[in-house]
Amino acid sequence: MIKPNKKQSTTDCSRRNFMLKSSLFMGSGAILLSSLKQQVIAAPKILEVPIWSKSIGNPVLHHSYGLPSNFEHQVIRRKSNPDDAPVEYVPSLDQASRSFTPLADLRGVITPNGLFFERYHGGYPNIDPQKHKLIIHGLVKRNLEITVERLKRYPSINKIYFLECSGNSYSNWGENEGSSVQGIHGLVSCAQWTGVPLSLLFREAGIDLDKAKYVIAEGADAPSMARSIAITRALDDVFVAYAQNGEALRAEQGYPLRLIVPGCEGSINIKWLRRLEVTDTPLFSRNETSKYTDLLGNDMARNASLIMEAKSVIIAPSGGQILPEKGFYEIRGFAWSGRGSITAVDVSTDGGKNWQRANISSDIFPKAITEFTFPWQFTGEKAILISRAIDETGYVQPYTQQLLKSRGHNYGYHNNSMQAWEIETNGRVQNVII
């Protein structure tokens, strides 16, 4: 029941500014919020008092390290499978595996550490930081053995960067239809990393700049995961990280030390970093030749395709969800680019016929996840929602067909093509390959 109040005059400047500000905030289009069908109630004489307001709650330090509310128990990492069901892990299989970030449940730039995606080739070790060392050797004047404690004393930097597995969205070439945005695209996360630049560490070691061409980074995991990095890239913005989102790295993300190679595929961001060898030749390790190399259609391979190109995905509405009713929905999504900042995101609600510029709803950091939003009315008619990212180089996120045409059908990694979600008349949201 609407309770009428005195009619608002429109001559007051502050009031006009307020109204203006609200409509500007609404972004493109004039979507009436009343279409959200708010529950309008009578003036409450006595507000209902729930049970939790009538009793003393939990004390401080109920958890000395806090945990999510038990009501958020569905917001977890998962394995990817079409039914999107949590799978009991099979030890012999799951150390060479991956778990996916629940993108649809996240907001903004930061992925909380407990939901950061996992990817291992031999499981993750539980390293004692007091026994771990970082060795720097090779084409240097001084071979160094650096303890974790001492590494943390070096001048450090804080940077917000995404990490994405080069195999992210692998299932979306059309062969395996994943169902949820978590299941298809969940091998991407974003955090604030703290660490020491390689340029500083190599200055300490006295790098031989006449000869140095590559750095071999090796991890302390069972497979001794190793990758080569060109020395120019290494000296530019690569650093040894020891913290994520303000606290120590998680064991799953490389505790106590990992490499961060901004904008480049996940596997080169070596976890459990134990060794940096300065060399004059790349390593041609297994994990940059037989794996993580892109096969083209013509018996050729595109190797060292390191950079994760501009990409976006709508996280809501997304696969597996059901829109409860017609009305207003704020389409939301994430965009990122390994080449720098996202400059724009376009959204189509009709399968790509028409495109409109979305709103950027978070801070924009180069090589970090950026959130976008777009106001939309679900009218009960079928719709296909797509987003496309544009980065600072002018690069535009491509259609799947465009990628397949230019790279051939054996191509597997670096699937940064657009994601389309089909909304059926009953509100069900499904993955469609376009």
Q: Which residue in 164, 430, 117 sits closest to 292, CA to CA?
A: 164
Distance CA 261, CA 197 (A): 10
Shortest separation between residue 252's beta carbon and a second copy, angstroms: 6
Shortest separation between residue 22's beta carbon and a second copy, angstroms: 5
Shortest separation between residue 62's beta carbon and a second copy, angstroms: 8
Q: Which residue in 412, 411, 369 sits closest to 391, CA to CA?
A: 369
Q: Which residue in 166, 184, 186 sits closest to 433, CA to CA?
A: 184
**Given the complex with a second copy, which of 72 and 350 has the nearer CB atom?**
72
Shortest separation between residue 270's beta carbon and a second copy, angstroms: 13
Contact 252, 118 (CB under 8 A): yes
Distance CA 166, CA 292 (A): 7
3-class SS at 155?
A: coil
The two structure tokens encoding residue 55? 């009793």
Distance CA 165, CA 268 (A): 9
Length of the chain (residues): 434
**Given the complex with a second copy, which of 144 and 384 has the nearer CB atom?**
144
Contacts of 190 (CB under 8 A, 6+ apart): 109, 110, 111, 160, 161, 162, 163, 336, 368, 369
Shortest separation between residue 204's beta carbon and a second copy, angstroms: 5
Contact 379, 326 (CB under 8 A): yes
**Given the complex with a second copy, which of 50 and 394 has the nearer CB atom?**
50
Shortest separation between residue 314's beta carbon and a second copy, angstroms: 15
**Given the complex with a second copy, which of 3 and 353 has the nearer CB atom?**
3
Shortest separation between residue 176's beta carbon and a second copy, angstroms: 18
**Given the complex with a second copy, which of 79 and 388 has the nearer CB atom?**
79
Q: Which residue in 191, 355, 201 sits closest to 266, CA to CA?
A: 191
**Given the complex with a second copy, which of 152 and 407 has the nearer CB atom?**
152
**Given the complex with a second copy, which of 54 and 353 has the nearer CB atom?**
54
Contacts of 145 (CB under 8 A, 6+ apart): 133, 134, 135
Element (H, E) at 99: strand 97-99
**Given the complex with a second copy, which of 197 and 263 has the nearer CB atom?**
197
Looking only at the bridges linking them, the beta strands covering 356-357 and 294-295 are unpaired
- Residue 94, phi-psi category: left (phi > 0), alpha (psi -120 to 50), beta (remainder): alpha
Radius of gyration of the chain (CA): 25
Distance CA 259, CA 214 (A): 15
Shortest separation between residue 24's beta carbon and a second copy, angstroms: 11
**Given the complex with a second copy, which of 139 and 386 has the nearer CB atom?**
139
The two structure tokens encoding residue 195? 């660490």
Distance CA 359, CA 233 (A): 33
Shortest separation between residue 174's beta carbon and a second copy, angstroms: 25
**Given the complex with a second copy, which of 4 and 394 has the nearer CB atom?**
4
Shortest separation between residue 274's beta carbon and a second copy, angstroms: 8
Shortest separation between residue 292's beta carbon and a second copy, angstroms: 18
**Given the complex with a second copy, which of 133 and 428 has the nearer CB atom?**
133
Element (H, E) at 217: strand 214-219
